[in-house]
Structure 1
Amino acid sequence: MGAQQSILEEEAAQPEAGAVPEADKASAKPQWFLEAGELEVEVTDKFSFEQSSKRATFAGASGIWALRFPSSQAFQNFINEYNGKLFENIYNVKNDEGNREKVFGKDSVLNLGAQETAASREQWLEDVDMEEAPSTAERFKDKYAQNKNTPIKGVRMGAGDRSYLVRDDQIEVLKNVYGGVQDTGTSFKITPRKGGSTFTPSKLMLMNRERRMNMLSPDTRTKLFNTDIETGKIVNEWSFKKDGTDVEIKDIVNDTRAGQLTDEDTFLGIGQNRLARWDMRDPTGIVQDSPVLGYQGGKDYASKVNFNCMATSGDGYIVVGSEDGQIRMYSERSLTRANTAIPGLGAPISAVDVTYDGKWVLATTRNYLMVVKTTYKDAKEKETNGFKSRMGSRGAAPRLLRLKAEDAELVGGAPLQKGKFTWITESGREERWIVASCGNYTVLWNFRQVKLATNDVVSYGGLTTCTSYHLIPKQESVVDSVFMADKFTASPSARPGQDESSMVIVTSNNVFSLADDE
């Protein structure tokens, strides 16, 4: 490990969770700390609990600590008490039935405070091939890399021949090949058509069979810049307007997961308190000098929902993540009401993803990824999903993916970022992996192993937690880790559904192609 490890074994007595007076009396937020001997650490969601060894593991001031308990009952009593204090630290209200109902709702898939039920585990196993041997993430090997001195800000993968790197105000074109990407030596500057300085886009979206690129500027959030990729020129600067008023948009996505491969002229966008569909076609059929995007419907929330990120499935189901940790699921038809809203665990959601078939949703927070199974059986035992109707408590309990305490210290406390599934572009195939970036590392989870996980390790509120993963180290900060489209498997001879994948890791100055081709 990157730091000295210190283990505290507490064999004889159960440690006590006690109140420590707040340093700031003006703050109403309770501050609970765990005290064991001279050790004192704040009660946070970074603790994990291992059932078989009856251990609570966490990072302390001087390394990694473990508290071990003399009996299963003592261990469970501690978990129950700890979860109660954690609730008060996060939500700033007393841990009672009324407040828990206000936070999580009467009928929620988040049954915190209880371990995953046998019925929930059965739902996770419904589509798992028990005869299939799990793949190992160690099969991903570096194939080649490229380096330039200009810092890399981001990457946008294409499902066709090309992908794109963002280097300040310049877009660099990459060629997609089996097993990775290659430098083409081609790039273009992002210069507004009507004058003004170049800019670094905050969001990129490919559309119109990947012939056009839409981008948002971090400084001009009410405008959409539309670029012709063939010429590398911005051809239109569209305005986001509703009822004649400028609208700020912070994220944009295609209507469907494979929408960039179609001729769709509509797309989705979110603002802080807004979800909307926009149309790039001018209703008069004449391209105006200052075109305004057509508002095709959506919802403006009166309260601050603080939308942060969004994603769409192959059928156009929509998932939106918020700063308060909520996950909202919308059908492809209606943007005015979320059919399912899963309350947050207190941590802001920085990224979301959804599988092509819409059966699974992934939400990223700085300390963990949450995987949600969206399908369930309704009151008539008919299979449906949380995008089309309210899931309530009928769905399976979510699972958390997180780093072990020693690895969280190894990465220097860096946050998990940009979690995503394997990239599937057509129905009939399954996502095999989940990937996220974390400091100088890429973290890979085998999705099948997540589905097969037992509740031996639990964290926040008793949720099953998966701590089996593979770390891929790099010498500098990882900007993004992303799978290539499924057509670019490691080998051109790969059969449909064959367990081969290709991945690109982008660091501050390098691009690495990795292939699972053993």
Structure 2
Amino acid sequence: MAMSWLKSTVSNYLFGASEEIIKGKIYLNNKLLSENGILFLNSFSVPYKHELVLKEGGKLLKSFFLRKSLKFQCFELENKSNFFQWMDGADEFKFLVDDTELERVPYFVKSILYRIFEYEYQKPGSEAKGFEMSLLERDLQQHPPNATSNHIVANISLREQSSTSIFDSYNRTSGDLYKWDLVEELNCLLAQKATFSFKKSKEQDFATLLQIIKDDKIICSELCTSALNLCTNRGSKTIGWNSFMGGQISFWSFQFVDEEGFDCCNKLLTKFVYEYNFQQEYDRFVKNGDTAYLTSFLKMEVDDPANTPPSSDESDDDSAGFRASATPSKYGLCSPHKKNMHLVVSYVPLLAFLRLPLASTHRRNVYDRAFVSRGNEIAIFSSLDSDDANLAYYGQYADIRDKSGSVLTPQKLMLHHNDRAFLILNQDDPSRIHKMDIEYGKVVDEYTPYHHNIIEPQPEDYFQTVDLIPTAKKDHASETFIGLGRSRIYHVDPRAPDCRIPDKEMTQYTGSTQLTCGATTRDGYLVVGTDKGEIKLFTGKGKYDKRAKTALPGLGDPIIGIDVTTDGKWILATCEQYLLVVSTFFAKNAKESLGFVTPMGSHKPTPIKLTIQAKHVALMNEKLKFTRACFDLNEKGERFIVASTGHFAIQWDFQDVQRRKITNYVIKKFNDVVVSDQFTPQNDRHVVVATQRDIGIASREEFKTPTKKRLSVVNSPY
């Protein structure tokens, strides 16, 4: 159990001239290196630079520069012994403190912690604040000891360790194993009375294998990650998953003989996926109230995956229907050396006086413009009539450059100010936000946000932006917007002098969590996702709370896109392997509220996981890699969800999703990888789809129930 290093600030602490020294045994990668080791601290003449030194007698063994990346920690074992642990590249050092030195351990650890603080903060340890030390301690405690740490106490030699198995068995329970036959589209019984077990690796930290064993032979062995695409059915006590053995994606399912084994393995799967994603112990970091929440969205609850009959293969031809850009190929299709990257769709009418390099015949009532970036170009497409399910090439902005004349390659595009301008993030310099006037087709302004306390900002002082978010959903007139950095959220008003961001208009994080994306509601409530799968809800509306009103835990899979309904009652988060639909609406003390306004606490909802059934993934023979999912833009309320993975676009009926009918999705196959797809404004019957090479519109009728014929990928070149 990791001991708490620092409960309060040691205000009177000052480094002395003498070296702190402690005695004990030295281990390198769990091999005894020295019985009579000495560990001491040394300071350089250079300010704030210190080292940790190992000696044996008078012989210097190794020294280590003290900083966070050393991952130094102290652990207390059951027999009250203490050992230190740190990393030097791939090597793991442990120092088992001599029993006569135990009283000196707390002071020694504080000395190390303060020296690491000095390097990281570049100021004296005596000036450390309590919250700064707590954050530093928390960062260092992200690396608990592995399962072999107890071998130190038992003094097990390397030879004795090597005689044990590479894996430790965690659980064994029996049942029947099935495998989906891709030709006949039915489940075949592969093994009766097989064993479902977990094996934890001693060579790779926090890695666990799911293994199916029959007669002492391993039939199936898969690493426990989100890529398993787990699906469960409590009625039949069945767990299904995708297997990636031999380069072929297949669908396996295991039917347990009893409910106890089914429940136990469900919980263990959650635990092991979490540990692999976070590289930390599940039980140490997950609160009791979060366990049910995490377990519920790891797996997809479906009809019996071992006995579901194949879908009927309708006779209509699924390959027809997608209407690509109705234009000559040199305009509609990308050039061979470029690919479509980002798609944005406008739902503000095109102004009659808009000056673009367009044919005059295209100047009537233009709605539903679609913009797609291709390197440093942005192509423009539009429907000539709101009822016409087709796109026409409308023009392009070629060779986009910033105000200084440098090439501008959009990493992020956002329509702004009544859709008369783009806000652009350049992939080579995320500290600058560029404003491109759509009428004139060139960059007219540049914003470099930084903290208002800085008088003369240097390039390193500018905020690094990863996402641009409108101040409120469907608020087209606003000139302000929200910038999202890896560790901060800030409100940008381009009308203000410079780009100074005051404290009251920003939220700053100092921990290890990295923000990835965000979205706003009609009322300006803000939701952001993180690289650990967390979802944070803020009241927003210009108040920029210093803490989220509600923080929903994640399973370690980064959120790559997020959307929210206009009224803020539902959130749609995209991870690479699945989507999450989460309700923010709840009742507390007989009062109804949103998680944006009132902390949800124990009222956290059970999230709804959307993904492709494992048997369909086997037919697709493509690993899941979802693009950002989004709701439609219906004024009467959202009715559909659309996303894509690989060659496929998928739609869910939002009302079905709310009723947890999550397998009622429909699919449309394309001959190229889909980059992005979005509903056309005010019309949920049509979806704008950008593939790597083309762009077009697919109607809702073209999305069909998945069958073997419809899921077979055809990679035909253009």
TM-score by length of 1: 0.80
Give the aligned partner of residue 311 of structure 1.
Answer: 519
Tell me if structure 1 keeps the 8 A contact 2:194–2:212: no
Corresponding letter in the other structure for 1:266: T
Once the two structures are superposed, residues 452-502 of structure 1 have per-residue CA deviations (whole angstroms, 9 ceiling, x without a partner) of 126xxxxxxxxxxx333112100011010111112xx2xxxxxxxxxx532
Shift of the 83–175 alpha-carbon distance from structure 1 to 2, 3 Å rule, reads: closer
What is the SS of the residue equivalent to 2:629?
A: strand
1:300-449 mapped onto 2 (5 Å cutoff):
300-333=508-541, 334-335=543-544, 336-378=546-588, 380-409=589-618, 410-424=620-634, 426=635, 429-449=636-656
Tell me if structure 1 keeps the 8 A contact 2:274–2:556: no
Partner Cα distance (2:398, 2:500) in 1: 24
- Alignment counterpart, residue 476 of structure 1, candidates 652, 672, 688: 672
Give the aligned partner of residue 35 of structure 1.
Answer: 212
Task: Please state if 1:275 is matched with 2:506.
Answer: no
What is the SS of the residue equivalent to 1:357?
A: coil
Corresponding letter in the other structure for 2:664: S
Give the aligned partner of residue 340 of structure 2.
Answer: 152
- Alignment counterpart, residue 468 of structure 2, candidates 247, 252, 260: 252
Task: Please state if 1:206 is matched with 2:415.
Answer: yes
Task: Please state if 1:55 is matched with 2:238.
Answer: yes
Q: CA deviation at 1:448?
A: 1.0
Q: CA deviation at 1:20?
A: 4.5
Q: CA deviation at 1:309?
A: 0.7
Q: CA deviation at 1:358?
A: 0.4
Name the stretch that deviates more: 48-57 or 391-400: 48-57
Corresponding letter in the other structure for 1:17: S
Partner Cα distance (1:144, 1:6) in 2: 34
What is the SS of the residue equivalent to 1:192?
A: coil
Partner Cα distance (2:374, 2:627) in 1: 19
Corresponding letter in the other structure for 1:250: V
What is the SS of the residue equivalent to 1:418?
A: coil
What is the SS of the residue equivalent to 1:76?
A: helix
Q: CA deviation at 1:110?
A: 5.1
Name the stretch that deviates more: 432-441 or 70-79: 70-79
Give the aligned partner of residue 435 of structure 2.
Answer: 226
Once the two structures are superposed, residues 98-122 of structure 1 have per-residue CA deviations (whole angstroms, 9 ceiling, x without a partner) of x2xx33x354595344799xxxxxx
Shift of the 54–175 alpha-carbon distance from structure 1 to 2, 3 Å rule, reads: same
What are the ranges of 5 or more consecutive residues in structure 1 without an aligned counterpart? 117-137, 284-290, 455-465, 490-499
What is the SS of the residue equivalent to 1:13?
A: strand
Q: CA deviation at 1:218?
A: 0.6
Corresponding letter in the other structure for 2:526: I
- Alignment counterpart, residue 15 of structure 1, candidates 184, 188, 195: 195
- Alignment counterpart, residue 681 of structure 2, candidates 449, 467, 485: 485
Q: CA deviation at 1:308?
A: 0.6
Give the aligned partner of residue 252 of structure 2.
Answer: 65
Tell me if structure 1 keeps the 8 A contact 2:209–2:221: no
Q: CA deviation at 1:91?
A: 4.0
Once the two structures are superposed, residues 237-290 of structure 1 have per-residue CA deviations (whole angstroms, 9 ceiling, x without a partner) of 22222233311111101101112x21x12100111111111110034xxxxxxx
What are the ranges of 5 or more consecutive residues in structure 2 without an aligned counterpart? 1-179, 299-316, 326-331, 349-366, 703-718
Aligned length: 453
Tell me if structure 1 keeps the 8 A contact 2:487–2:510: yes
Corresponding letter in the other structure for 2:556: G
Partner Cα distance (1:74, 1:11) in 2: 17
Shift of the 114–10 alpha-carbon distance from structure 1 to 2, 3 Å rule, reads: farther
- Alignment counterpart, residue 504 of structure 1, candidates 655, 679, 688: 688
Tell me if structure 2 keeps the 8 A contact 1:109–1:391: no
What is the SS of the residue equivalent to 2:465?
A: coil
Partner Cα distance (1:144, 1:444) in 2: 18
Tell me if structure 2 keeps the 8 A contact 1:157–1:163: yes
Tell me if structure 1 keeps the 8 A contact 2:273–2:555: no
Give the aligned partner of residue 301 of structure 2.
Answer: none
Shift of the 317–32 alpha-carbon distance from structure 1 to 2, 3 Å rule, reads: same
Tell me if structure 1 keeps the 8 A contact 2:647–2:671: yes
Partner Cα distance (2:279, 2:431) in 1: 35
Task: Please state if 1:111 is matched with 2:304.
Answer: no
Tell me if structure 1 keeps the 8 A contact 2:626–2:643: yes
Shift of the 49–415 alpha-carbon distance from structure 1 to 2, 3 Å rule, reads: same
Corresponding letter in the other structure for 2:481: F
Tell me if structure 1 keeps the 8 A contact 2:474–2:522: yes
Q: CA deviation at 1:389?
A: 1.4
Tell me if structure 1 keeps the 8 A contact 2:200–2:206: no
- Alignment counterpart, residue 297 of structure 1, candidates 501, 505, 525: 505
What is the SS of the residue equivalent to 1:281?
A: coil
Tell me if structure 1 keeps the 8 A contact 2:642–2:652: yes
- Greater percentage in helix: 2
Shift of the 179–452 alpha-carbon distance from structure 1 to 2, 3 Å rule, reads: farther
Partner Cα distance (2:294, 2:236) in 1: 22
Tell me if structure 1 keeps the 8 A contact 2:297–2:609: no
Give the aligned partner of residue 122 of structure 1.
Answer: none
Partner Cα distance (1:224, 1:139) in 2: 42
What is the SS of the residue equivalent to 1:15?
A: strand
Once the two structures are superposed, residues 409-450 of structure 1 have per-residue CA deviations (whole angstroms, 9 ceiling, x without a partner) of 3151041121111124x5xx1111111110011111111111
Partner Cα distance (2:595, 2:199) in 1: 39
Q: CA deviation at 1:339?
A: 0.3
Tell me if structure 2 keeps the 8 A contact 1:17–1:81: no
Tell me if structure 2 keeps the 8 A contact 1:190–1:200: no
Give the aligned partner of residue 78 of structure 1.
Answer: 265
Q: CA deviation at 1:509?
A: 1.3
Shift of the 420–201 alpha-carbon distance from structure 1 to 2, 3 Å rule, reads: same
Once the two structures are superposed, residues 11-70 of structure 1 have per-residue CA deviations (whole angstroms, 9 ceiling, x without a partner) of 753633232543x3xx43242432333222222332211223332211221522121223
Partner Cα distance (1:32, 1:251) in 2: 36
Name the stretch that deviates more: 390-399 or 365-374: 390-399
Give the aligned partner of residue 303 of structure 2.
Answer: none
Partner Cα distance (1:255, 1:181) in 2: 31
Q: RMSD of the TM alignment (CA)?
A: 2.9
Give the aligned partner of residue 497 of structure 1.
Answer: none
RCO higher in 1 or 2 (8 Å CA, sep ≥ 6)? 1
Name the larger-Rg structure: 2
Give the aligned partner of residue 132 of structure 1.
Answer: none
Q: CA deviation at 1:293?
A: 6.0
Partner Cα distance (1:213, 1:115) in 2: 36
Partner Cα distance (2:570, 2:210) in 1: 35
